[in-house]
Amino acid sequence: MPRLNELIEILSKPAVNERYSHSKATKTCKICEGPATRFRDTMSSCEYAVSAICQSCQDIYFHDCSLSEEAFSSI
């Protein structure tokens, strides 16, 4: 995950964490504050349910650490 340090820095900001409840209520992203209504798959939707991070931000910060379907099925 090449942008891990950047993500940690962003998520460490109090303002970002304070947006969690509002983001969930308004279906927006706590990082970019953009809409969070479309997700690529169930895992991405579940990630939003936990983190309030939209698909675009998930793509930016998580894109290379996604489990392949084969790897996931073996867990």
Query: Using one digit for the tens of pLDDT, what is the confidence trace for 20-70?
Result: 999 999 999 999 999 999 999 999 999 999 999 999 999 999 876 544 444
The label of the residue with tokens 């790897």 reads: 71
The label of the residue with tokens 């962003």 reads: 10
Look up residue 34 and give its two tokens.
């953009």
Residue 75 has pLDDT above 90, yes or no: no
Query: Using one digit for the tens of pLDDT, what is the confidence trace for 12-31?
Result: 999 999 999 999 999 999 99
Q: Where are the domains of the chain?
A: 4-73
Contact 29, 56 (CB under 8 A): yes
Residue 73 has pLDDT above 80, yes or no: no
State residue 4's pLDDT score.
Answer: 86
